[in-house]
Chain A
Amino acid sequence: MTLQTVLLVAAALFAVGLYGAISQQVVVMVMMGLEVMVNAVLLAAGAMWWFLAPDPAGQVLLLVVLAAMTVEMAAGFAVATLVHRHRGSDMTDSATDLAG
């Protein structure tokens, strides 16, 4: 287990999450993609902490990533509820009001 191998796994996780976030039509599935991406960031940050600078400040950064994950989830569920209430569906294709 080296920094490079952990980062490789994190890169694979990030790419899979990115695929989901781009390709999925259901809001909850898009959120799943985003979650996988943040999960990859968490793993990569943990590896950076352990292999480069095992200082307590690095662990605090991991907690911030976890907090960001929580905020994303809570706000995402609220938006999904709003979209479902107004459009009767939870598809991203039905919420393109801000599309350029």
Chain B
Amino acid sequence: MLLDVAFWVLGLVAVASAVLVFVVDSMARATYALALSFVAVGLALLLLEQSYVGVVTVLMMLMEMAVMGVYMVMYMGMNPALMPMSMVHDNRAALGVSAATFVVLAAGALLVPWPVRRGVPAPDVTAALGEALMGRQMLVMVVVSPVMVATIVTGVVLAAGRTRYDRFGDDLDASPPRDPHRGGVGR
């Protein structure tokens, strides 16, 4: 009973704060609302015995929202806590699509004859997860790791203002390099 109440409260907080993200009139409030939504989902995962994933979700998303706040200040060019904003397009179409999506997903959740539970959880699900990652499921982490590295490289290449290809050309053979100011020792 207590578990049910806790879940409904967390679910309500998660959905309400997600709605607030697109309703409040400042970027800072939107970021806080999204962080609250993530924390609620992370705690709901804890109720589902996902102790590791739940805690990781909460910690990761709080840091991510902090980074997002910095980006907003950088790019919005305004005081994000004070400046009202409403920047939407196709609002009615978006509302219609999201409402239809909810109806379809909710109908699927309620009408599908879900199978009965198969198996029982391990006594320590976090230890079982660690053993799976280091054993039978290691291929997953082996694939995820290079994807992460590729993401780092992609992020640097996209975000860098001027790279060696801008300085030395596509074949890296331009001499002298195209720099805004001549530097070095006069070569």
Contacts and interface: CB of A to CB of B under 8 A. Distances in A.
Nearest to A18: B98
Contacts, number: 231
B148 interface: yes
Interface in A14-37: 14-20, 22-29, 31-33, 35-36
A31 B21 CA distance: 12
A91 B137 contact: no
A84 B60 CA distance: 26
A25 B76 CA distance: 12
Contact of A19 (B8, B38, B98, B133): B98
A50 B41 contact: no
A17 B34 CA distance: 11
A51 B27 CA distance: 37
B11 to A, nearest CB: 4
Interface stretch (B151-159, B164-172, B176-184): B151-159
Contacts of A7: 105, 108-109
B173 interface: no
Contact of B109 (A11, A62, A63): A11
A74 B109 contact: no
B44 interface: yes
B120 A54 contact: yes
B132 interface: yes
B109 A4 contact: yes
Report the contact-size class of chain B (Cβ under 8 Å from the partner). Answer: 35 or more
Contacts of A9: 11, 14-15, 44
A67 interface: yes
Contacts of B147: 67, 71
B185 interface: no
Interface residues of A, number: 70
A92 B149 CA distance: 27
Given A16-B22, A16-B98, 16 more contacts: A5-B11, A13-B15, A19-B98, A22-B90, A23-B22, A23-B89, A31-B68, A32-B21, A39-B37, A64-B140, A64-B144, A67-B147, A74-B152, A75-B151, A75-B158, A90-B76
Interface of A: 1, 3-20, 22-29, 31-33, 35-36, 39, 42-43, 46-47, 49-57, 59-60, 62-64, 66-67, 69-71, 73-75, 77-82, 84-85, 90-91, 93
19 contacts: A8-B109, A12-B102, A14-B101, A19-B95, A23-B22, A26-B76, A29-B30, A29-B87, A43-B14, A50-B50, A54-B120, A56-B132, A57-B136, A59-B53, A63-B129, A71-B147, A71-B151, A74-B155, A78-B155
Please give me the 4 A-B residue pairs with the lowest Cβ-Cβ distance, nearest first: A7-B109, A11-B105, A23-B94, A15-B102
